Structure formats: structure tokens, C-alpha cells
């Protein structure tokens, strides 16, 4: 089998190297391409074959991996002069490891299908360290049978490759992950700046929070308690008490002239929850306000949730 890899930047270089280590020993050939030929020298030295263009690579590869900066670069590699689609053959699978647009991926998927080829959105999570060590999540959207066929190649790149759903699903999962992370980053900066301005040493705040409920069990992990099962009673921590706590925090922010934009958004939702008579429900009941605005219902059956928790801890 011939496996092609396009995009040998910070993440791609390490992922391609791990792919080589994982599959060349089994007799498979790795083909590489990048807009900068010098980026491929280490891979060529380790046995990879240089290809002059995406089209040249697609003409030979049985499976293709791309790691690119974003949608414009992906579209250039796929649709451009000497792009992948110009020589794409039936039966070939392409896993795009880029953090990409679900809309862009679905459009391209339709074009691949016309040629009998299979496209997957397969964004990764783990950063440069994970790419180098192979400790990398790969979230795929696409055909389940083809995913299983090529999973051993994905396993050479990362240690947690899984099919999330149809085309676009992997990209959605990655965007949820990254957006959540940066919202949490902004929230951490907001409340820590308040604490520091209130006279507390930063490390002391960090050590204190680390020992609390947030630090011992992350907010995302705790979504399995109330949000996913859609169960807000009996309360673990009553909404009325959360309203009191966030009110005190925003009041302190006003005293210190510290902007508390995210905290005030949370307080507004807590106030709406009180006005709906939810004071004695769990404080996370305010999450229902957002699902209501979005027009979705979140309720995972207990047995599926328990299985997912067991699988995640294994």
C-alpha cells in the first residue's frame, strides 16, 4: 500500500514521521509533498518518496493524509492546478487532519463521491507534543467501513482515532473542543485578574482553585452529572446559591474596576433561572436556557452515558 502525506509543518512533520515509523516496517510506502521541498528532507532521508504535486501523489496513493493551515489551503490542494481531484482514483481514502470547516468538507465530500473516492474530516487534538509523541486524538467524520479499513494507519499517527459520525462530524467536534477551551481561557483570565487585583498572589489562587471542585474534576467532565442526562434534581449545588456567589464575584469586580464580561453573562442566566422558579434546582440548569435558544434537546440515555464514561476511563 502507498500512503501519501501532504503538509509537513509543525504538526504535519511529526505526524508524517510517525506514519513512516508505523507503516514502512510493514512494507508500505510513504509518499510526501509540501510547498517547501526542504520540509520533506528528513522524511525522504527516512525512506519516504517525494512527489512533485498533490496530483502526482494522488495518482499513486491508496490513502492520503493532509495537514494544512485551514480551509483555503485545503481547497487549493484539492481543487487547484495539479490538485488531488485532478487525478483522484476510485476507492482512495483521504483523511484531512486539518481543523477545517464542516461546510467545506461536506462540499468536497460530494465531489470525491462523484469519483468513487472517500473523504474524511479527521482533525486532531494534542498539540505539537502530542503530534511528536503519538498521543493524539483523531476525530473522524465519514464512511464507517472505510474508516475501519484504514484505522491501522490512523493508529500509527495517534493513539485515539475514532469515528464521530458522517462527514463534517469530526470538524464539529474539533470546533466544539477548541471554542470551549478558549472560552474557558478567557473566563480564567477574567476571574484570576479579579483575584490578583483583590490582593491575592496568583500561585496561591491557582493552588486554591486546583483543590476545589473545578480543579479536582473539570467543568467539561462534570457535564455527565446533570447536562447530558438532563437531570437537574436533586441539586448538587442549588441555583440560588450559585446566583449569590456570582453576584458577590461581580460586585467585587465592580469595586476593583475589573471588567467581568463573562461573569455578568453567567449572572444574567442565573437571574433568569431564578425568575423561572429554578432556585432549588441544580445550578447547571441554566444550561437549559442555551439549549432552548438553540432549539435543541440534550438527553443521553443513562446506559449510553455510563458506557461512555467507562470507555473514557479505560
Residue 127 CA, distance from chain mean position: 11
CA-only gyration radius of the chain, Å: 24
> Does the active-site annotation cover 174?
yes
Residue 243 to residue 50: CA distance in whole angstroms:
61
What is residue 16's three-state secondary structure? helix
Residue 227 to residue 243: CA distance in whole angstroms:
18
Catalytic-role residue among 174, 197, 231, 244: 174
Residue 181 to residue 37: CA distance in whole angstroms:
34
Rounded to whole angstroms, what are the CA distances from 227 to 125, 222, 231, 252, 294? 24, 8, 7, 29, 15
Residue 113 to residue 41: CA distance in whole angstroms:
34
Q: Which residues are the active-site residues?
A: 174
Amino acid at each position: 500500500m502507498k500512503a501519501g502525506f501532504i503538509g509537513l509543518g509543525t504538526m504535519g512533520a511529526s505526524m508524517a514521521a510517525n506514519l513512516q515509523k508505523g507503516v514502512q516496517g510493514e512494507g508500505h510506502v510513504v509518499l510526501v509533498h509540501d510547498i517547501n521541498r526542504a520540509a520533506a528532507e528528513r522524511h525522504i532521508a527516512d525512506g519516504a518518496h517525494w512527489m512533485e504535486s498533490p496530483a502526482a501523489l494522488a495518482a499513486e496513493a491508496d490513502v492520503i493524509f493532509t495537514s494544512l493551515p485551514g480551509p483555503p489551503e485545503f481547497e487549493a490542494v484539492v481543487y487547484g492546478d495539479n490538485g488531488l481531484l485532478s487525478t483522484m482514483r476510485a476507492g482512495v481514502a483521504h483523511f484531512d487532519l486539518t481543523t477545517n470547516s464542516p461546510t467545506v468538507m461536506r462540499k468536497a465530500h460530494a465531489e470525491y463521491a462523484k469519483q468513487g473516492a472517500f473523504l474524511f474530516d479527521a482533525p486532531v487534538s494534542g498539540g505539537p507534543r502530542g503530534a511528536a509523541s503519538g498521543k493524539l486524538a483523531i476525530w473522524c467524520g465519514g464512511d464507517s467501513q472505510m474508516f475501519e479499513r484504514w484505522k491501522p494507519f490512523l493508529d500509527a499517527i495517534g493513539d485515539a482515532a475514532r469515528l464521530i459520525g458522517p462527514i463534517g462530524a469530526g470538524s464539529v467536534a474539533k470546533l466544539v473542543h477548541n471554542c470551549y477551551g478558549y472560552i474557558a481561557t478567557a473566563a480564567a483570565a477574567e476571574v484570576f485578574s479579579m483575584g490578583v487585583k483583590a490582593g491575592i498572589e496568583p500561585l496561591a489562587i491557582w493552588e486554591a482553585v486546583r483543590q476545589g471542585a473545578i480543579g479536582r474534576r473539570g467543568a467539561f467532565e462534570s457535564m455527565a452529572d446533570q447536562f447530558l442526562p438532563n437531570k437537574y434534581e436533586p441539586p448538587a449545588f442549588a441555583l440560588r446559591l450559585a446566583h449569590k456567589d456570582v453576584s458577590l464575584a461581580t460586585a467585587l469586580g465592580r469595586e476593583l474596576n475589573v471588567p467581568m464580561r463573562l461573569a455578568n453573562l453567567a449572572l444574567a442566566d442565573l437571574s433568569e433561572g431564578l425568575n423561572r422558579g429554578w432556585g432549588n434546582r441544580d445550578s447547571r440548569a441554566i444550561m437549559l436556557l442555551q439549549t432552548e435558544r438553540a432549539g435543541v434537546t440534550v438527553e443521553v440515555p443513562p446506559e449510553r452515558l455510563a458506557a461512555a464514561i467507562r470507555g473514557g476511563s479505560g
